[in-house]
Homo-oligomer: A and B are copies of this chain.
Amino acid sequence: MRDDTIKRILKFSEDRDWDQFHSPANLAKSISIEANELLECFQWSDENYDINEVKEELADVMVYCVDMLDKLGLDADEIINAKMDKNEAKSPVEKARGSAKKDDKL
């Protein structure tokens, strides 16, 4: 994600004085709410989804993730790489390869 995209997201809330609503807990609720609007695109069929709705709802999820990173002073690359370190240790390639159970069941 480019810096100007992140700045646009943050300026949007600032301009509207909405930072006051963006407690970490409210942002966590918002990420879940938007994630479920995304899930709704696939409610009755895995195949017949509207790609334009998917784009909008996925964008909404990411917008609130950016708001939360900003609110908590976190760096996306840093927290993702720290988590990937854990994921790689937990699911070594030789054990995990192609397992239908994926990481949580290894």
Contact B93 A15 (CB under 8 A): yes
Contact A33 B44 (CB under 8 A): no
Contact B35 A55 (CB under 8 A): no
A63–B1 Cα distance when bound, in Å, is 13
Contact A1 B32 (CB under 8 A): no
A33 to chain B, nearest CB (A): 5
A34-64 CB mask vs B (1 if < 8 Å, else 0) is 0111111111111111010011101111110
Q: Which residues of A contact B (CB under 8 A)?
A: 1-2, 5, 8-9, 12, 15-18, 20-21, 23-26, 28-33, 35-49, 51, 54-56, 58-63, 65, 68-69, 72, 74, 76-77, 79-84, 86-88, 91, 93, 96-102
